[in-house]
Amino acid sequence: MNIIFFLPYKSLNFEMLFLETIFLVAACLVKTPAALYYDIPCTVTASIFGCVASFLIQDLHIRETRMQYELEYVSEHDELTALSNRRGFDLHITQTYEQCCSERSLCGIIMMNIDHFKLYNDSYGHLAGDNCLQRVSRAMKSTAKQHGAFLARFGGEEFISVIHRVNEQAVQHYAEKLLHAVRREAIPMNGDIVTISLGVCTQVPQKADDWMQQVDRADHALYTSKKSGRNRISYWQKESQ
Q: Active-site residue numbers? A: 157
Q: Which of 201, 195, 202 is nearest to 229 (CA)?
A: 195
Q: Report helix, strand and coil shares of the chain as percent, to nearest 5.
A: 40, 30, 25
55 DSSP β-pair partners: 44
Alpha carbon 237 to chain centroid, angstroms: 30
Burial class (CB in 10 A: 0-12, 13-18, 19+), 222: buried
Q: Is-contact 26 42, C-beta < 8 A?
A: yes
Q: Is-contact 187 136, C-beta < 8 A?
A: yes
**What is the C-alpha separation between 182 and 161, in angstroms, rounded?**
15
